[in-house]
């Protein structure tokens, strides 16, 4: 049995499907089982992975676990100590290695440390920016005009499906035990280039306007300042290390990572649904 936390998210949903296709028994931990929409063979249980009690209960009888956790790392450490699954795969972020000063990176670093304190053989996945972040644009795509900051700053992006593919191998094969895997796609499209790919696939013109950093902050008053600081740093001021692409997806899965246009084609219906 493999436990997938965050099973209805961009990565978790893909991971569940891949594991089921490989003939694995899957248990999904989700806050709202009634709305999960997971395939019939999956055992769906209610709970928040940051709740130590819920996570401990979900880990009962589990051989491997994929952890996508927000919140206090202490309960996660305690749950792993009591359950001792054979394999542990933790979703982290590339910024752990590049941004010692940002709160989100510090949170993930602490989580990595807590997990590794009890499981030195845990596999840590550190992906870069997700291609699926383009779905944030869907309301603007419906209007035919997208506004975003840092129009001509390119960053390596990765399809969440590629992260799920790497996680699948790490959950099923001991050869990755103890590894920390930096994950990116094979290209670094700018926001302007991403919108161009979306326009081409949808077959309709879409215009782009670049926001200044100040305009971006002012247009997102509901986002906490620390989160905005993180977004501005990663989107607009990438470090040389953050600009490097890696071969990890190909090395682990045996196939190259998907290009951004591939992601757009795969998610065309979601993007068209906004139009």
pLDDT of residue 13: 94
Phi/psi for 29 (5° steps) reads -100, 120
Q: What percentage of the chain reaches a pLDDT higher than 90? A: 86
Domain boundaries defined on the chain: 2-131+157-186+239-257
| pLDDT at position 31 over 90 | no
Spatial distance between the Cα atoms of 65 and 118, rounded to a whole number of angstroms: 14
Q: What percentage of the chain reaches a pLDDT higher than 70? A: 99
Spatial distance between the Cα atoms of 208 and 190, rounded to a whole number of angstroms: 12
Q: Which tens digit of pLDDT belongs to each residue from 84-107?
A: 899 999 999 999 999 988 988 999
Q: Which tens digit of pLDDT belongs to each residue from 170-211?
A: 999 999 999 999 999 999 999 999 999 999 999 999 999 999
Mean pLDDT of the chain: 94
Spatial distance between the Cα atoms of 255 and 20, rounded to a whole number of angstroms: 20
Spatial distance between the Cα atoms of 152 and 143, rounded to a whole number of angstroms: 22
When pLDDT is cut at 50, 70 and 90, the band that residue 34 belongs to is confident
| Neighbouring C-beta atoms of residue 16, cutoff 10 Å | 26
Q: Class assignment of domain 2-131+157-186+239-257?
A: alpha beta
Name which residue leads in pLDDT, 126 or 36: 126
| pLDDT at position 119 over 90 | yes
| pLDDT at position 273 over 90 | no
pLDDT of residue 50: 83
Q: Which tens digit of pLDDT belongs to each residue from 200-248?
A: 999 999 999 999 999 999 999 999 999 999 999 999 999 999 999 999 9
Q: Of 163, 204, 198, 155, give the one whose Cα is nearest residue 182.
A: 163
pLDDT of residue 249: 98
């Amino acid at each position: 049995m493999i436990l997938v936390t965050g099973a209805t998210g961009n990565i978790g949903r893909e991971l569940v499907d891949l594991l089921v296709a490989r003939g694995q028994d899957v248990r999904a931990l989700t806050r709202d089982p009634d709305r999960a929409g997971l395939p019939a063979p999956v055992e769906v249980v209610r709970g928040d992975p940051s709740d130590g009690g819920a996570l401990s209960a979900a880990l009962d009888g589990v051989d491997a676990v994929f952890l996508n956790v927000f919140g206090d790392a202490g309960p996660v450490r305690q749950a792993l100590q009591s359950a001792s699954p054979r394999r542990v795969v933790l979703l982290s972020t590339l910024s752990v290695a590049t941004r010692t000063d940002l709160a989100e990176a510090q949170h993930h670093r602490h989580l990595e440390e807590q997990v590794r304190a009890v499981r030195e053989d845990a596999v840590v996945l550190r992906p870069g920016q997700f291609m699926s972040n383009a779905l944030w644009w869907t309301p603007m795509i419906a209007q035919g005009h997208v506004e975003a900051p840092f129009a001509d700053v390119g960053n390596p992006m990765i399809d969440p499906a590629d992260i799920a593919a790497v996680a699948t191998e790490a959950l099923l094969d001991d050869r990755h035990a103890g590894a920390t895997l930096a994950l990116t796609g094979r290209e670094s499209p700018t926001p302007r280039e991403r919108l161009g790919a979306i326009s081409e696939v949808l077959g309709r013109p879409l215009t782009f306007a670049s926001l200044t950093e100040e305009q971006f902050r002012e247009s997102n008053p509901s986002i906490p300042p620390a989160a905005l600081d993180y977004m501005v740093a990663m989107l607009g001021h990438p470090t040389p290390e953050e600009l490097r692409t890696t071969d990890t997806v190909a090395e682990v899965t045996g196939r190259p990572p998907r290009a951004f246009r591939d992601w757009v084609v795969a998610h065309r219906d979601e993007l068209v649904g906004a139009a």
